[in-house]
């Protein structure tokens, strides 16, 4: 399941039980870190956690602090600096040589954090993107009023048309500037921090781009499509099965798929949405159907097009298509992958499904799919964050008693 969906579903259950909860969000990273900005973790008052913000190194410490946030209701900005050796002494054993900044806030009716989770849930449900802009550095109103004050955790939530979904940010001028910046950030599809100068001082805004589940359309409903559906759904993708055979395209056979479409061969591509974010796999095992599908899919805007079968079969399929009549350029074939999948020595249907999903993921993130050990540059792109001047730097602690902690956590 998609991690964001797991979190919003878990919070809905927490609310139904009348329990308190807190939300931890990675809002900044420098150097090496397991998770990127935008990673979230839900912590309930009974100690249950959903989601991760690290490889398991920070979760316990953040959960300890979450109980204090639930009590006070005040958001906290925590900075974990693992560039020295102190983290090993404290028992966290991170050794990542990086800095991770985490926003920790209480979730309750009417809170900005709860509103953000509702926004994420609505984006996922509608399969649309959005921007969640969150204040991570406060600014006091020098005149003592509230119109220009900027508090940590205040938000501006924008749908994919940049319409305001919800707003807890009182500073209208800042909100307008955030909305202007959101257009570029939404197009980039990456979380980042941006500094803004206000009449009262400088603040930092964390922009998180909410992306809908990756759409995967599978043409073909034979037995080998089942592990592909399962593998894709494990990653939280939105999977649609399309086939012409009533005995194959059934909900009973593909319970894990989001949609199962039964239609005539000449209607297959018209029955589904094919956008620039859609990945398509053709595995009908029917030569004539594949010819017609290729005619429709090659000119389409899909980001990935893979065909199951040997290369010679695909070349023969392409010979059947009159490229000149279709008006196709050579660039149209850059999306065509055949044989499909990464070369991992896959033999079984489950292994082939893994190879296919891995290749789609690599293509969608413009990566090669090669060994990470051969990469001489950082694993993760580093342009997601601009330098931010944090008001408080907080070190990890071991004891549950804050008064006995090596470095006391300050409330922001």
Q: pLDDT tens digit string along 230-251?
A: 999 999 999 999 999 999 999 9
In the predicted structure, residue 412 carries a pLDDT above the cut 80: no
SS3 383: coil
**Nearest Cα to 245, choosing from 227, 266, 264, 229?**
264
Cβ density class 170-191: b for 16+ within 10 Å, e for less = bbeebbebbbebbeebbeeebb
pLDDT of residue 395: 33
If one compares 6 and 410, the residue with the highest pLDDT of the two is: 6
Q: List, in order, residues 6 or more apart from 318 with CB less than 8 Å away.
A: 294
SS3 3: helix
pLDDT of residue 311: 92
For the record, the structure tokens of 231 come out as 């593998």
**Nearest Cα to 82, choosing from 101, 105, 104, 64?**
101
Tell me the pTM.
0.81
pLDDT of residue 401: 34
DSSP 17-64: HT--EEEEEEEEEEE--SS-TT-EEEEETTS-EES-SSSSSSHHHHHH
**Nearest Cα to 294, choosing from 323, 271, 272, 273?**
323
pLDDT of residue 86: 56
Q: pLDDT tens digit string along 7-51?
A: 999 999 999 999 999 999 999 988 777 788 999 999 999 999 999
Q: In the chain, where does the domain assigned CATH 3.40.50.720 lie?
A: 215-364
Cα 344 to chain centroid, rounded = 26
pLDDT of residue 348: 96
Q: List, in order, residues 6 or more apart from 325 with CB less than 8 Å away.
A: none
**Nearest Cα to 305, choosing from 286, 283, 331, 279?**
279
In the predicted structure, residue 374 carries a pLDDT above the cut 50: yes
C-alpha 281/C-alpha 266 separation (Å) is 17
pLDDT of residue 33: 76
Q: How many residues does this entry show for the chain? A: 412
C-alpha 208/C-alpha 157 separation (Å) is 10
Task: Please give the C-alpha separations between residue 371 and each of 290, 338, 365, in angstroms, as whole numbers.
Answer: 33, 21, 15
pLDDT of residue 81: 84
Give the DSSP H or E segment for 208.
strand 201-210
* Average pLDDT, rounded, for the chain: 85
* Terminal C-alpha separation, the chain: 34
pLDDT of residue 333: 72
For the record, the structure tokens of 375 come out as 């990469």
Kindly indicate the confidence band of residue 257, based on its pLDDT and cuts at 50, 70 and 90.
very high
Q: pLDDT tens digit string along 298-324?
A: 989 999 999 999 999 998 988 888 665
Task: Please give the C-alpha separations between residue 346 and each of 223, 260, 341, in angstroms, as whole numbers.
Answer: 16, 27, 9
Contact, 100 vs 28, CB < 8 A? yes
pLDDT of residue 327: 66
Residue 330 burial (10 A CB sphere; 0-12, 13-18, 19+): exposed
Please say whether the dihedral angle defined by the alpha carbons of residues 167, 168, 170 and 176, taken in this order, is positive or negative: negative
In the predicted structure, residue 411 carries a pLDDT above the cut 60: no
Q: Which residues pair with 164 in a beta bridge?
A: 158
SS3 96: coil
Q: Which residues pair with 158 in a beta bridge?
A: 131, 164
pLDDT of residue 148: 63
Kindly indicate the confidence band of residue 409, based on its pLDDT and cuts at 50, 70 and 90.
very low
Beta strand 130-135 pairing with 155-159:
antiparallel
Q: Which of 52-56, 78-82, 311-315, 408-412 is the least confident region?
A: 408-412
In the predicted structure, residue 57 carries a pLDDT above the cut 70: yes
Q: Which residues pair with 146 in a beta bridge?
A: none
Q: What are phi and psi of 102, to 5 degrees?
A: -125, 130
In the predicted structure, residue 144 carries a pLDDT above the cut 60: no
In the predicted structure, residue 93 carries a pLDDT above the cut 70: no
In the predicted structure, residue 408 carries a pLDDT above the cut 90: no
pLDDT of residue 382: 56
Q: pLDDT tens digit string along 282-295?
A: 999 999 999 999 98
In the predicted structure, residue 104 carries a pLDDT above the cut 70: yes
Kindly indicate the confidence band of residue 403, based on its pLDDT and cuts at 50, 70 and 90.
very low
Section 271-279 average pLDDT: 94
Q: pLDDT tens digit string along 150-171?
A: 889 999 999 999 999 999 988 8
Kindly indicate the confidence band of residue 366, based on its pLDDT and cuts at 50, 70 and 90.
confident
CATH number of 215-364: 3.40.50.720
């Amino acid at each position: 399941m998609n991690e964001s969906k797991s979190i919003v579903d878990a919070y809905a259950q927490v609310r139904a039980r009348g329990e308190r909860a807190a939300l931890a969000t990675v809002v900044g990273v420098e150097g090496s870190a397991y998770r990127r900005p935008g990673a979230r973790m839900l912590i309930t008052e009974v100690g249950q956690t959903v989601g991760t913000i690290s490889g398991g190194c920070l979760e316990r410490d953040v959960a300890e602090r979450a109980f204090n946030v639930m009590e006070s209701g005040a958001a906290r900005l925590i900075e974990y600096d693992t560039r020295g050796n102190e983290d090993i002494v404290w028992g966290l054993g991170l050794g990542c040589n990086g800095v991770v900044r985490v926003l920790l806030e209480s979730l309750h009716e009417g809170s900005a954090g709860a509103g953000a989770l509702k926004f994420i849930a609505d984006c996922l449900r509608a399969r649309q993107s959005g921007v969640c802009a969150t204040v991570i550095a406060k600014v006091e109103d020098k005149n003592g009023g509230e119109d220009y004050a900027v508090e940590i955790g205040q938000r501006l939530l924008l749908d994919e048309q940049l319409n305001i979904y919800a707003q807890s940010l009182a500073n209208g001028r800042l909100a307008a500037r955030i909305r202007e910046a959101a257009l570029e950030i939404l197009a980039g599809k990456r979380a980042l921090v941006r500094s803004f100068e206000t009449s009262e001082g400088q603040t930092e805004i964390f922009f998180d781009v909410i992306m809908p589940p990756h759409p995967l359309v599978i043409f073909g409903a034979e037995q080998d499509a089942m592990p592909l559906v399962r593998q894709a759904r494990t990653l939280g993708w939105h999977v649609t099965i399309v086939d012409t055979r009533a005995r194959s395209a059934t909900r009973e056979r593909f319970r894990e798929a989001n949609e199962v479409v039964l239609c005539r061969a000449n209607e297959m591509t018209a029955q589904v949405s094919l956008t620039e974010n859609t990945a398509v796999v053709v595995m009908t095992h029917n030569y004539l159907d594949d010819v017609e599908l290729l005619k429709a899919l090659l000119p389409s805007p899909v980001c990935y097009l893979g065909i199951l079968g040997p290369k010679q079969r695909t070349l023969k399929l392409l010979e059947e298509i009159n490229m000149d009549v279709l008006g196709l350029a050579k660039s149209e074939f850059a999306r065509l992958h055949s044989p499909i999948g990464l070369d991992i020595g896959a033999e079984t249907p489950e292994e082939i499904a893994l190879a296919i999903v891995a290749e789609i993921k690599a293509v969608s993130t413009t990566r090669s799919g090669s060994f990470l050990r051969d990469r001489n540059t950082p694993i993760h792109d580093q342009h997601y964050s601009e330098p931010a001047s944090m008001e408080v730097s907080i070190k990890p602690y071991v004891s549950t008693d804050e008064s006995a902690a090596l470095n006391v956590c300050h409330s922001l």
